[in-house]
Amino acid sequence: GGKNLAIGPNLTACHSSYGRPDLLVYCCPPGFQNPVPFTDFKFPDTSPVRVRRPAHLLNESFIAKYNKALSIMKSLPYDDPRSFHRQANLHCQFCTGAYEMLNSSGSELNIHRTWMFFPWHRMMIYFHERILGSLIGDDTFALPFWAWDIPDGMTIPDFYVDKSSPFFHSQRDFSHFPPRVADLDYSPDDNDPRFDRKEQTETNLAFMYNRMVSGAKKTELFMGCTYKAGDKNCDSPGTIESAPHNTLHTWIGSGLNPGREDMGKFYSAAKDPVFYAHHSNIDRLWEVWRDINDRKLDIDDSDWLNSFFLFYDENLNLVKIKVTDVLDITKLGYSYEEVDRPWLNHRP
């Protein structure tokens, strides 16, 4: 075979990075200079299955559990890799090029706008979910997903805007709080809102059809560009990544901040609890796209399959996990509650 060009971070080469063109940030983990022993990923017990449910359909008792888990996570000290702040900084590290690539010193590792987008975020929220569950001793705990692709889910789920809860976040655009229907193709330069509720909903469904079906008929169009060790040219996001993913980040973040932080910029985005429900939906839509295409468009390039990252698990072990480890969610012990795909018959 050819040369191994799988991606991986050089964990001992972390540095400050640009969160915006005019803002240097530092999000490296404490003590990164000293390598920590790691173990290879092992599949978890797959029973009970963690069933991720639509955020707008959650009952009080689930919200109370998540509330408790998130409160504990937010109270952990920064030294603890399970703490909310450290979880948020994982995103900052891999999304602003804080690490150099292994075996390619000087190349910054950036997972956005490349084919690493889906697998990296899957890994991040997989560990995040299991940490939350372990903090409350609940091995059924599953992240909710914000189902912004179906009409009933197109507003920010109510519990995220309850000011007295840990789900609330002050750095948001309050004019976009419920009952505003999200604009899946939002741009801060457009009129806001662009449409009335009904038109916005219809426009969103037609847009989803484009992102999931008509605009996503080739692997690279949906997954993003080929990104290998030493690569500096890959900079082309998949359909879903560019929008609704990026656009909703921008739509949520506060218009009072220069980069619409916190959700509006990657260095700060994961500080907002709604980030995790947003990414749970993105992760689900990856599965939906695979399903629509009978998995015939799945990437089989060994450099992608062998690319790897390291995350702390719920037992504080550092784990090396490869893309190939996260391609079967059944083996990862979670599933998604089925919801309609109303956009499937919204060919514009």
List residues near ligand C2O by CB under 6 A: 91, 95, 112, 121, 245, 249, 266, 269, 279
Q: Least distance in Å: CB of 248 to ligand C2O?
A: 8
The one catalytic residue in 41, 84, 266, 311 is 266
| Residue 59: burial class (beta carbons within 10 Å; 0-12, 13-18, 19+) | exposed
For the question of residue 309 being annotated catalytic, the response is: no
Q: Do strands 334-336 and 50-52 pair parallel, antiparallel, or not at all (unpaired)?
A: parallel
To ligand C2O, the closest distance from the beta carbon of 121 in angstroms equals: 6
> Cα separations (Å) of 175 from 51, 137, 152, 162, 246?
32, 37, 19, 15, 18
Cβ neighbour number for residue 280 with a 10 Å cutoff? 27
Nearer Cβ to ligand C2O, position 159 or 275? 275
Among 128, 169, 249, 278, the active-site one is 249
Question: Is the Cβ–Cβ distance between 101 and 4 less than 8 Å?
Answer: no
Catalytic, 249? Answer: yes
- φ, ψ for residue 101, nearest 5 deg: -75, 145
Pair 110, 19: CB distance under 8 Å: no
Taking the complex as a whole, how short is the minimal distance between the CB of residue 270 and ligand C2O, in angstroms? 8
Strand 39-40 relative to strand 318-322: parallel, antiparallel, unpaired?
parallel
Task: Give the nearest distance from C-beta 208 to ligand C2O in angstroms.
Answer: 17
- CB nearer ligand C2O, residue 269 or residue 277: 269
CA gyration radius for the chain? 19
Q: Which of 121, 169, 176, 278 is catalytic?
A: 121
Give CA–CA dist 266/21, Å, rounded.
Answer: 12
Q: Is 117 a catalytic residue?
A: no
- For residue 71, count other CB atoms closer than 10 A to its CB: 15
Complex with ligand C2O: residue 67 or 242, whichever CB lies closer: 242
Closest CA relative to residue 184, chosen from 113, 256, 242, 111: 242
Which residue's Cβ has the minimum distance to ligand C2O? 95
- Report in angstroms how near the CB of residue 197 gets to ligand C2O at its nearest: 25
> Closest CB to ligand C2O among 134 and 160?
160
Catalytic member of 112, 169, 176, 278: 112
**Cβ proximity to ligand C2O, 134 vs 268, nearer residue:** 268
Gap between the Cα atoms of 283 and 125, Å rounded: 9
Q: Is 112 a catalytic residue?
A: yes
91 is a catalytic site residue: yes
Q: Residue 9 is encoded by which pair of tokens?
A: 């971070």
- Residue 213 DSSP label: I
- CB 254, min distance to ligand C2O, A: 16
Token pair belonging to 30: 């404490």
Q: Which is nearer to ligand C2O, 71 or 236 (CB)?
A: 236
Among the options 41, 279, 308, 309, which is catalytic?
279
Question: At its nearest, how many Å lie between ligand C2O and the CB of residue 200?
Answer: 21
Q: Which of 91, 128, 169, 176 is catalytic?
A: 91
Q: How far is it, in rounded angstroms, from Cα 229 to Cα 6?
A: 6
Residue written as token pair 């009409």: 151
Which helix (H) or strand (E) segment holds residue 322: the answer is: strand 318-322
Residue closer to ligand C2O by CB (options 5, 123) is 123
Which positions are catalytic? 91, 112, 121, 245, 249, 266, 279
